[in-house]
Amino acid sequence: MLKFILRRLGSSLLVLFGASVLLYVLVINSGDPLKDLRESNADNREYLMQQRAENMNLDMPWFERYWTWLKGVGGCFVGDCDLGTNRSGQQVVDLLALAASSTLRLVVLATLIAIVVGVAIGILTAIRQYSGMDYVVTFFTFLFFSLPVFWAAVLLKEYMAIGYNNWIADPSFSWSAIIAVALVLGITLQAVLGGTWKRRLLTFAASVAFVCVVMPYLDWLNFARYPQLGPIAIALVGAATAVGATALGAGLRNRRVLYAGLITVAVGVIAYYATYGILWEPTWWILAGLFVLSIAVAIGIGHAVGGFSKGAASWVSVITALVMGALMVVEQLFRSWPGFLELKNRPISTIGSQTPNFVGTFWEDFLDKGAQLLLPTILLTLISLASYSRYTRASMLEVNQQDYIRTARAKGLGERQVILKHAFRNSLIPITTIMAFDFAGLIGGAVITERVFGWKGMGELFATGLDQVDPAPVMAFFLVTGTAAVLFNLLADILYAVLDPRIRV
């Protein structure tokens, strides 16, 4: 295994070296970095040209400039990273740190959401192959996959930013909107839950009735401007999570696992009151500590209550604890929403990663950055969602045809165990490959997204360097994206070898 990893690592380094040389040559030959100054009528034009030439080392042959950059990259391994300066004399390392933090904040969230939702949709469509839901999901996944990014971004800006900002000034639900939402939800739920026509009609009617009651009630509460959740709603959602996680993970007949989840809900309600003052104005370190503590307590509850099923009980407890913690964060965001609207009456901006000179509480600042993150995250998620759902569906369908799946069903195992413990686990190899490539691909693909939404991230760093014929920012972009692509490719190969030992030879 070690020999396999070293061989793949060596070939990966060669790929990075060759790609870096090619990209450097292409950038420096793509134009004249002094063009704007040559056309300038400024009195100090010669001085500016000399200064820029010194910043970019234009007096050196290209191979010496590349070797200087390569030595600076090598210094990163000993803590002395030097990626040169851009044409204005700014250290590219500092620019890269700011750009990478902005882009990773966007890409990590989009990737996690796309993995969870895409894999779940892929499993559902594989189970309901050739059903109405399968055809509808297939249509929308291909639609999302083929959407031009810039066009979809414009639509999001128009309807989810400008349209929402206009609506939130005086929010209300018309009956036409209520009926439209009710019909969409009813059609969606009956397609997902399936069953006989009688069951489908009952699901559709219940969904429509639920929406027609809840939305006018929320309108009466003015929920859009003064949202509220409360401990009762948090407890109910937590209990539903515990029941659902138990049904999927161990089956509702396993009472110990169910009790572990419900006890976690009770502890979460107690924690709601115990941490209320702490969460009023926290720090990121406090939130991280509470996150670790909640997982530790959940694992302890699972081991104490789970008995012989303490592993499954721990997983159910952890999932329930995470949902309860997320709901407590949402509760604080709800309470801060009216104050946030007073500071920013049009909450969702179409440009930038945060509002300039915005001053507010911790949660109001969280809302500001989260609102700016919303549109590009949705866009990147929709693009990745198609790949995850289709690959998961194809992999699940292929595995379902294997002999060991038929054997598992013939032994009398429940469909839940067959799907989650046998089919899904054995369909992970192609899904693992997509996860490895997608993260690196999204960093590179975020160039257009960041350009459209005005984010000062990796995409903006790359585009600016390319426009200015400045190789230093472009090579910094390559260093992150190229290394990520190669490393995740290597990681996929290693995971392949771990999951299937035959690949090692």
DSSP-H helix ranges across 148-283: 149-156, 163-168, 175-193, 197-221, 230-249, 255-274, 276-280
Q: Give the pLDDT confidence score for residue 59 in this predicted structure.
A: 83
Given a cut of 60, whether residue 504 has pLDDT beyond it is no
Q: Give the pLDDT confidence score for residue 367 in this predicted structure.
A: 92
Q: What is the mean pLDDT of residues 357-367?
A: 89
Q: Give the pLDDT confidence score for residue 289 in this predicted structure.
A: 94
> Which of 283, 308, 282, 310 is closest to 298 using CA atoms?
310
Give the chain's mean pLDDT.
86
Q: Give the pLDDT confidence score for residue 259 in this predicted structure.
A: 93
- pLDDT tens-digit series, residues 152-172: 888 888 888 999 999 998 898
Q: Report residue 500's pLDDT band, with 50, 70 and 90 as the boundaries.
A: low
Query: What is Dmax (Cα atoms) for the chain?
Result: 88
- Token representation of residue 207: 């969904």
- Cα separation of 168 and 223, whole Å? 11
Q: Could you give the dihedral angle defined by the CA atoms of residues 372, 376, 382 and 387, in that order, rounded to the nearest 10 degrees?
A: -130
Q: What is the mean pLDDT of residues 118-125?
A: 87
The b/e string for 340-377 (b: 16+ C-beta within 10 A; e otherwise) is: bbebbeebbbbeebbbeeeebebbbbbbbebbbbbbbb
Of 173-187, 277-291, 337-351, 436-450, give the lowest mean pLDDT range: 436-450
Q: Give the pLDDT confidence score for residue 363 in this predicted structure.
A: 93
**Model pTM above 0.85:** no
Given a cut of 70, whether residue 1 has pLDDT beyond it is no
- Looking at the chain, the whole-number percentage of residues with pLDDT higher than 70 is 97
- Cα separation of 448 and 354, whole Å? 18
Q: Give the pLDDT confidence score for residue 401 in this predicted structure.
A: 84
Instruction: Check residues 488 and 473 and name the one with the higher pLDDT.
Output: 473
Q: What is the mean pLDDT of residues 21-32?
A: 89
Q: Report residue 15's pLDDT band, with 50, 70 and 90 as the boundaries.
A: confident
> Which of 300, 302, 298, 286 is closest to 322 using CA atoms?
298
- pLDDT tens-digit series, residues 300-319: 999 999 888 888 899 999 99
> Which of 165, 73, 109, 178 is closest to 350 using CA atoms?
165
Residue type at position 108: V
Q: Give the pLDDT confidence score for residue 468 in this predicted structure.
A: 87
Given a cut of 70, whether residue 445 has pLDDT beyond it is no
- pLDDT tens-digit series, residues 206-227: 999 999 999 999 999 899 999 9
Of 242-256, 361-375, 440-454, give the lowest mean pLDDT range: 440-454
Q: Give the pLDDT confidence score for residue 336 in this predicted structure.
A: 93
> Which of 109, 113, 130, 196 is closest to 393 using CA atoms?
130
Q: What is the mean pLDDT of residues 331-341?
A: 93
Q: Report residue 432's pLDDT band, with 50, 70 and 90 as the boundaries.
A: confident
Instruction: Check residues 155 and 430 and name the one with the higher pLDDT.
Output: 155
Q: Give the pLDDT confidence score for residue 303 in this predicted structure.
A: 92
Q: Give strand pairing partners of 91.
A: 85
- Token representation of residue 293: 């503590």
Q: Where are the domains of the chain?
A: 172-221
User: Tokens 């192959």 belong to which residue?
Assistant: 129
- Cα separation of 389 and 116, whole Å? 10
Q: Is 67 helix (H, G, I), strand (E, B) or coil?
A: helix
Q: Give the pLDDT confidence score for residue 320 in this predicted structure.
A: 95
- Cα separation of 191 and 188, whole Å? 5
- Cα separation of 105 and 116, whole Å? 17
